[in-house]
Amino acid sequence: MEYITLNNEVKMPIVGTGTNTYGKVNKDYNGELKNEIPELESALELGYRSIDAAISYRNEALVGGILAESSVPREELFITTKVPAREEYVSSKESTRAAIDNSLKNFKTDYLDLLLIHAPIEDKEQLKNTWEVFEEYYEAGKLKAIGVSNFKKNHLDELNEFAKVKPAVNQIQINLTEKNKELLDVLKEEGITPVAWGPMKTEEHQDKVLDEIGKAYGKSGAQVLLKYQIGRGVVVIPKSHNRENQAANLDLFDFELTAADVEKIDNL
């Protein structure tokens, strides 16, 4: 595994696994929860250590139970979760504290590696209060890093007006159909690490080019795409319920794309 160093010197695995449909009937985001997550168990066995969760996914306790029962030491895990930008979680500092405390309980741990605001909070006072609670838990060592998700430049500018701790990451959609280049440039300038959700999304004509590039390395087009993203400093959190695909999504560190390869992908 390779790591990226966040702006507070915390090291984050550059590849992780999403969990938004894990442990759910029919692998459906809105499906009922089951009592097992074999897909997470296989991910851990294969070497995934960065686990991307969220309160909104409804399966924190299930994910947390698997992590706590696994043979992987806590210090090797990088656990991310997210507080929803909904009234019940951000209406007051007390409600935000309760949300964080409950997440810590769900993951059976005394600290989280990364906590994000899941979406922009439009009420500026609520945003300020929420971030101040994040900073409070960060200063107390209960959060190793704090950040945001789905924030655009105007949201980051608003946060910067009062934040004492700069967000370490912004988790946004980054793929070949939603390149988000302007926002990526802003994040680079600000020293905020981009984390890509939905990194595998492509169109058919793009798949053909990726597959062709992959042939030279004995890799799939999907592996080429993930390699392209991590090669430019983007953390990726692909998700699969299939063990073979999970393994392939980690098998990225024994080849390097050429400048010509990168240019082809840039132009897709």
Residue numbers annotated as active site: 57
The C-alpha atoms of residue 81 and residue 55 are separated, in whole angstroms, by 7
The answer to whether 207 touches 214, Cβ cutoff 8 Å, is no
The answer to whether 12 touches 113, Cβ cutoff 8 Å, is yes
Q: Classify residue 47 by its DSSP letter.
A: T
CB neighbourhood size of 262 (10 A): 15
- How far are the Cα atoms of 109, 125, 201, 207, 208 from residue 87, in angstroms, in the given order? 26, 12, 31, 41, 45
Count CA atoms within 13 Å of residue 208 on its CB side. Answer: 2
User: How close are the terminal C-alpha atoms of the chain, in Å?
Assistant: 28
Count CA atoms within 13 Å of residue 26 on its CB side. Answer: 5
Calculate ∠ Cα 18-26-226, nearest 5°: 30
- The Cα diameter of the chain in Å comes to 55
The C-alpha atoms of residue 55 and residue 141 are separated, in whole angstroms, by 20
The C-alpha atoms of residue 185 and residue 183 are separated, in whole angstroms, by 5
